[in-house]
Amino acid sequence: MMPVMPDVSRETRDRLDRYADILLRWNQRINLVSPHDLPHLWSRHIADSLQLAQMIPFGPISLVDMGSGGGFPGLVIACATGARVTLIESDQRKAAFLREAARTAGVQVRVCAQRLEVADVPPAQVVTARALAPLPRLLEWGTRFLRPDGFCLFLKGRNAEEELMTASSGWHMATTRIPSRTNTDGVILKLSDIRRVTDHNNE
């Protein structure tokens, strides 16, 4: 069954239309979305990212998106919310695309073209990632960019529970699982109160 696109405002839809158009043009030169997935751009990639946008509190929330690639989910979130979004993407060509796509869509984002291990961005209230790395690695990176009162939103697939089990040996966190509406095997992990196990033991 085809996933249903969430309801969005006309302004948001216009921004997403412009974003999708430029992505399709640039995708002929650099690999932003695999050719196999292009027919599912809206129903899979954009709708998948919009799920996270609906979990962002209203207002000028700061958000860091790790490994933004073609703009999922960070640029979609920027199109759909008033969040102050920073996109971290080390590939210089993809970073150039993100800047041009944001300009074309009419949204203001900061693009940080650095590796996650060395990226220098202020801590944010929300950290996001999609199809980037196993959860323990995401936590290593994400806690660098997360405010103590913030939370992470990670889109995960069928291995989510296994990754949570692996991560539990090194991290304490409050975990909320939200079933994905675009992938029957998918889940959104909302993680807060994230601490290393060693930090807890030293208290």
* Residue 36 placed within a domain: yes
Domain count, the chain: 1
* Residue 4 placed within a domain: no
Is 116 marked within a binding site? yes
Check residue 68 and give its pLDDT. Answer: 97
Check residue 44 and give its pLDDT. Answer: 87
* Residue 17 placed within a domain: yes
Global pTM value: 0.92
Residues of the chain with pLDDT below 50 are 1-3, 200-203
* Residue 157 placed within a domain: yes
Give the domain range for residue 170: 10-196
CATH of residue 83's domain is 3.40.50.150
Is 67 marked within a binding site? yes
Check residue 199 and give its pLDDT. Answer: 53
Is 72 marked within a binding site? yes
- The amino acid at residue 36 is H
Check residue 203 and give its pLDDT. Answer: 46
Check residue 114 and give its pLDDT. Answer: 97
